[in-house]
Amino acid sequence: MRTGTVVIIGGGIGGLTAAIALRRRGVDAQVYEAAPQLEAVGAGIMVPANAMQVLDRLEVGEDVRARGMAIHRGDLCDARAGLLQRMDQAHAERRYGSGITGIHRARLQEVLASRIPAHALHLGRRFASLRQDESGVTVSFQDGAQVRAGLVVGADGVHSGVRSHVRPEAELRYSGQTSYRAVVALDLGGQPANTAVEVWGAGFRFGYAPVAPGEVYWYATRDAAPGVRDAPGQAKEELRSLAAGFPAPIPALVEAAEPHQLIRTDMFDLPGLRGWHRGRVVLLGDAAHATTPNLGQGGAQAIEDAWVLAEQLAATDDVPAALRAYESMRAGKAHRVINTSWRIGRLAHVRNPLGRALRNWLVRCAPARTSRRQLDWMYALDY
């Protein structure tokens, strides 16, 4: 592989995994992260079987499992707690050797960062711009520092700055929905163990899953205009009233969160972007194919990207050919995730009572093999 130093912009899930995968191949991969400390937002994440298989190949999977919680089942319910659909992970565990692991994001990030030497992780370095010439790329940071790279990987998330150097015309699409997330201490007691639950209301939904003993990650989404900020205490007050009629333990989960713990994120995606590379700059993860989170696959797709990019770069000295192969192997699945997740997001937020009744009936009647097929295309790795 003739990449020289690979500069990765962004030390999130995708950037850190890419650094691990590349360094295992003997590449000098260096991560530049804007945050002064690697403290992931205080939320959880579901790491599904496709991502767990990659993490196992990178010999990180066991650490992730040890610091998270196995999720054996996903229950989708209506607001009266009636079961609409059960996603049993036993099939995935048998077929792919792994189901879902629920984990605090900070712990996932710690595990990933622990596999990268300190000298390859540069914190407090905010990417500003880059310039390509015949022999490489000069990357400039906001503090005025510059580094030289043979290849730049833009893993700087949904609002990527690197993307404007690759596909300046790319536009994010707003979903019409905003999300709130928190990790709280609560004993789920009478609830089924190792289970992720999502409850659909009218223009509002709430999901939760254990991420460690006595620790629960929850998220809620509601219809909202983009860019609105909450006044202090307002978000908790609104969530309290939206979740009031929802089944236990949802009201208790909202109560258990301190207002400052609530993380609000407007949900955007980036449908159909092609041309993830230009010269010696390539996009990875949300920077290339941000998705709404309704399938719990955004981070997993970034992890798959990291594996494929490292493998393709290792397979040839022809860097442009490797970048083309990377995109052609990854774009189909990433775009399918974006489109399927978008449709689920619309379905989950139907407000009209008749529409909701019809939707619930259809989801309840869907045969188990349909949900298994859905898991299969997401979980299978064909590389």
Ligand X SMILES: Cc1cc2nc3c(=O)[nH]c(=O)nc-3n(C[C@H](O)[C@H](O)[C@H](O)COP(=O)(O)OP(=O)(O)OC[C@H]3O[C@@H](n4cnc5c(N)ncnc54)[C@H](O)[C@@H]3O)c2cc1C
Residues that bind ligand X (CB under 6 A): 9-15, 32-35, 45-46, 126-127, 155-157, 161, 179, 181, 219, 265, 267, 285-287, 293, 296-300, 302
Q: Choose between 201 and 299: whose C-beta lies nearer to ligand X.
A: 299
**Residue with token string 């230009």:** 278
Q: How many CB atoms lie within 10 A of CB 192?
A: 10
To ligand X, the closest distance from the beta carbon of 352 in angstroms equals 25
Closest distance of CB 238 from ligand X, Å:
17
- CB nearest ligand X: which residue? 12
Q: In angstroms, give the least distance from the CB of 14 to ligand X.
A: 3
| Cβ-based nearer residue to ligand X, 61 or 299 | 299
* C-beta of residue 177 within 8 angstroms of C-beta of residue 345: yes
77, 84 Cβ separation under 8 angstroms: yes
- What is the C-alpha to C-alpha distance for residues 260 and 240, in angstroms, rounded to an integer? 15
Q: Report yes or no: 217 and 211 within 8 Å, Cβ to Cβ.
A: yes
- Spell out where the chain has E strands: 6-9, 29-33, 44-47, 69-71, 73-78, 83-88, 100-104, 121-123, 127-133, 136-141, 146-149, 151-154, 173-185, 195-200, 204-212, 215-223, 263-269, 277-278, 281-283
Max Cα–Cα distance, the chain, nearest Å: 63
Q: Whole-number minimum distance, CB 291 to ligand X, in Å?
A: 7
Whose Cβ is closer to ligand X: residue 186's or residue 220's?
220
**Residue whose CB is less far from ligand X, 10 or 279:** 10
* Helix, strand, coil percent content, the chain, rounded in steps of 5: 40, 30, 35
How many CB atoms neighbour CB 230 within 10 A? 16
Q: Tell the smallest beta-carbon distance from residue 287 to ligand X (Å).
A: 6
If the CB atoms of residues 3 and 179 are measured against ligand X, the closer one turns out to be: 179
CB of 317 to ligand X, least distance (A): 27
**Nearer Cβ to ligand X, position 85 or 265?**
265
